[in-house]
A and B are shown apart, each in its own frame.
Chain A
């Protein structure tokens, strides 16, 4: 699984950070999403899928 987050789309509400804190964080300056781990291990895949599903701005894509 490869994780990509579109920082232009992100509205900074942080739901991804709550779902998968090992994979997503928010930039200190502006709260916009950063991907900490673009190829997370299998045990995190479900949490990452959930993060993508609840992201209100559809900013997270998985491939």
Chain B
């Protein structure tokens, strides 16, 4: 059957989640995964691309060098005006292919390797405990996002990069604009320029006053110009904030909504590592797809994706694929979820994942240990989910204890 005949439908993407269960992927995309796993999608700007939704197909695309991450290809799908602006501005290695990608990324792999991140545990634990001390000091309720989930990874990434934490309002506000789906191009352009300007100046300042942060080390290598360092710094800064912060808040909420799982974890904190993998799988906060463009004709899940066509891999549906995760829509903190693709797959798989794991394990263990009476302080229906953001989560999480 000619492909055109079977694919006369196209899905508007991102699609809305069902109102009842804000943890589940959009029903339209889940439907596509079951019925038409490689399907067509139409984006905000009318642009048309492929949507790849199953676990194996997503791994096939993201693991295949014939799919490029280079956003300067004309067929590249942009989820937001902001992401397009990031490309016009100053590209990071996230939007490059090998060998350029590997050259820049390998300058950082040592900074995020498992051993190094494990050695940060005492420091991260100290920060987590201090935040809880401050949050609970004389109070019985707070917003978990602004008082714990966000400052924890923010303090840690600033420490690692050598960025003054005192400036966090400045770069948190800019990164929020860059990740909001409905930001205008002008808003995005301004935020983008301000952020790059800030980081370029910071890189310059490290020439004279080096410290042991990553930015200083990149400066000291001498083979990168300050704007390249700024692009790398911006990527790490944004990624380091938004992802762990949202995973922490959303994980807490998911556990509060699944009291049996919460009780199980409270009873046996040694489950924390396994539970974090399951929460990563179940929640998959990068919910609007990982973009690629085909550089050759490639067959994926029985469909031919032609050279030059754009692809979005929806990793949140891949992580609900019951062929890999039986009873995938159930949060089961005891299951072995290690095959999840919440960090992506292929050579671009999240560089910061060892850091994210340490932060999430410490954040969840600390919250449950320190706040035995933790509960939601508003009605679940009133929680404001980040439908409007490229990275999912909650805008605020009022809790009491």
Contacts and interface: CB of A to CB of B under 8 A. Distances in A.
A29 B344 contact: no
Contacts of B113: 12, 14, 17, 26, 31
A14 B353 contact: yes
A46 B62 CA distance: 25
Contacts of B344: 56
A18 interface: yes
A14 B116 CA distance: 11
Contacts of A36: none
A57 interface: yes
A54 interface: yes
Contact of A12 (B109, B338, B339, B346): B109
A56 B110 contact: no
A15 interface: yes
Interface size bucket, B side? 20 to 34
B349 A18 contact: no
Interface centre among A14, A19, A27, by most B CB within 10 Å?
A: A14
A53 interface: yes
A9 to B, nearest CB: 8
A58 B354 contact: no
A13 interface: yes
Contact of B343 (A9, A13, A30): A13
B284 to A, nearest CB: 16
A28 B109 CA distance: 10
A1 to B, nearest CB: 19
A54 B63 contact: no
Interface string A13-51: 111011100000111111110000000000000000010
A11 interface: yes
A28 B339 CA distance: 26
B102 to A, nearest CB: 7
A14 B108 CA distance: 13
Contact of A53 (B102, B339, B347): B339
Contacts of A26: 109-110, 113-115
A11 B349 CA distance: 8
A19 B109 contact: no
Nearest to A16: B114
A13 B115 contact: no
Interface in B37-78: 62-63
B345 A12 contact: no
B114 A29 contact: no
Interface in B219-250: none
Given A56-B345, A56-B346, A57-B346, A30 B353 contact: no
Given A30-B110, A53-B339, A56-B63, A14 B354 contact: yes
Interface in B328-347: 338-339, 343-347
Contacts of A31: 106, 109-113
Contacts of B348: 11
Contact of B338 (A14, A25, A29, A54): A54
Contact of A13 (B62, B110, B111, B350): B350
Contacts of A56: 62-63, 343-347, 349
Nearest to B339: A54
B114 A18 contact: yes
A53 to B, nearest CB: 7
A12 B105 contact: yes
Given A14-B354, A56-B344, A30 B109 contact: yes
Nearest to B277: A18
Nearest to B117: A14
B109 A32 contact: yes
A13 B112 CA distance: 8
A44 B357 CA distance: 23
Nearest to A24: B114
A58 B102 CA distance: 15
Interface of B: 62-63, 102, 105-106, 109-115, 338-339, 343-351, 353-354, 357
8 contacts: A12-B109, A12-B113, A14-B113, A14-B114, A26-B114, A56-B343, A56-B346, A57-B347
